[in-house]
């Protein structure tokens, strides 16, 4: 029987320089998308997929991230005193129980593969998930849950995948597709950030993975790849060369690249418009802005 995926790694050691000066004091992962931090969307998605152990790969200056998941007794007491039970319940839903969450330091920025490798002792000999909080995916069934259900059928290593414009392949890990089965593809390999004229396809790896312990063994080599960093895609491809299947999974949902300012703004608008308490007022504002722009032309 295939082992269930109950552990997830969240690499959050980056400095978030594209969001300076905000990230001078605020970790990018707790910047708010509407009224929830980016990392809360990732945690909620992981919980829906059956994840029970959450491993954060952090770096210096991420104390506010750790505080976010801790209890806030003074704030809870104040909400209780004022009878704000709905807010109190919302606040409690962000707490993480003792032993449920762990933090590992990545002391040097050596790449995504190195960040995942830092968690090797906590993963042991189990399959595990990797979630990049920068990639926020709006979906009726959370993306990782879709992947876990597919993984339980086929095993191997699995990456979330979506088509990107051919000109954008140099920004992604790209799949070399062997057999396209629709929702799932089997692969001949993965190429990290290939130039458009040498990319084997335009099917890109997005920030969700379900991986086997073999990938961690390959990361032990600490071999630098594209950009001089230790690339996770290289280790996944090395596991494939040892006989483990690597699947690309076309998820159902809309992905927002919240590692960029434009993507963050697009996600903010999309998630706000999906809210009953915000939709009408925001849509009215957008309509007024568009009409004013047309009138000015």
pLDDT tens for each residue of the chain, 297 residues long: 567 899 999 999 887 788 888 888 888 888 899 989 999 999 999 999 999 999 999 888 777 888 888 778 888 888 888 888 888 888 777 777 777 888 888 888 788 889 999 999 999 889 999 999 999 999 999 999 999 999 998 988 999 999 999 999 988 889 999 999 889 999 988 888 889 988 999 999 999 999 999 999 988 777 766 666 788 988 898 888 888 889 999 999 999 999 999 999 999 999 999 999 999 999 999 998 888 877 877
DSSP letter, residue 34: T
Indicate the helix (H) or strand (E) that contains 247. strand 246-250
Cβ-based burial of 167 (10 A; exposed 0-12, middle 13-18, buried ≥19):
exposed
Tokens of 149: 């259900």
Separation of alpha carbons 22 and 49, rounded Å: 32
Q: Are 235 and 113 in contact (CB under 8 A)?
A: yes
Q: Is the pTM of this model over 0.85?
A: yes
Distance of CA 231 to the CA centre of its chain: 16
Q: Are 192 and 231 in contact (CB under 8 A)?
A: yes
Domains and CATH numbers, the chain: 7-259 (3.90.550.10), 260-297 (no CATH)
Strand 254-257 and strand 203-211: the pairing is unpaired
Kindly report the number of other CB atoms within 10 A of residue 180's CB atom: 13
């Amino acid at each position: 029987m295939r082992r269930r995926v109950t552990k997830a790694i969240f690499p959050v050691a980056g400095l978030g320089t594209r969001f300076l000066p905000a990230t001078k004091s605020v970790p990018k992962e707790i910047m708010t998308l509407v009224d929830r931090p980016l990392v809360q969307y990732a945690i909620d998605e992981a919980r829906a997929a059956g994840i029970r152990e959450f491993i954060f790969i952090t770096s210096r200056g991420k104390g506010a991230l750790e505080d976010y998941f801790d209890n806030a007794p003074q704030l809870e007491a104040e909400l209780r005193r004022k009878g704000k039970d709905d807010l109190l319940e919302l606040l409690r839903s962000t707490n993480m129980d003792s032993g449920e969450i762990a933090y590992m330091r990545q002391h040097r920025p050596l790449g995504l593969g190195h960040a995942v490798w830092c968690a090797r002792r906590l993963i042991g000999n189990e399959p595990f998930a990797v979630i990049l909080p920068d990639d926020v995916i709006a979906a009726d069934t959370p993306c990782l849950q879709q992947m876990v259900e597919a993984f339980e059928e086929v095993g191997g290593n699995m990456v979330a995948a979506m088509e990107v414009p051919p000109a954008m392949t140099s920004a992604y890990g790209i799949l070399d597709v062997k057999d396209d089965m629709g929702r799932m593809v089997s692969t001949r390999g993965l190429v990290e950030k290939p130039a458009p004229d040498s990319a084997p396809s335009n099917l890109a790896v997005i920030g969700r993975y379900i991986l086997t312990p073999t990938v961690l063994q390959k990361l032990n080599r600490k071999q630098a790849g594209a950009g001089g960093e230790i690339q996770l895609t290289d280790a996944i491809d090395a596991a494939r060369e040892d006989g483990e299947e690597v699947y690309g999974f076309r998820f159902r949902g809309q992905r927002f690249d919240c590692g960029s300012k434009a993507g963050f703004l697009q996600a903010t608008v999309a998630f706000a418009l999906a809210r009953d308490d915000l939709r009408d007022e925001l849509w009215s504002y957008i309509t007024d802005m568009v009409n004013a722009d047309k009138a000015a032309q």
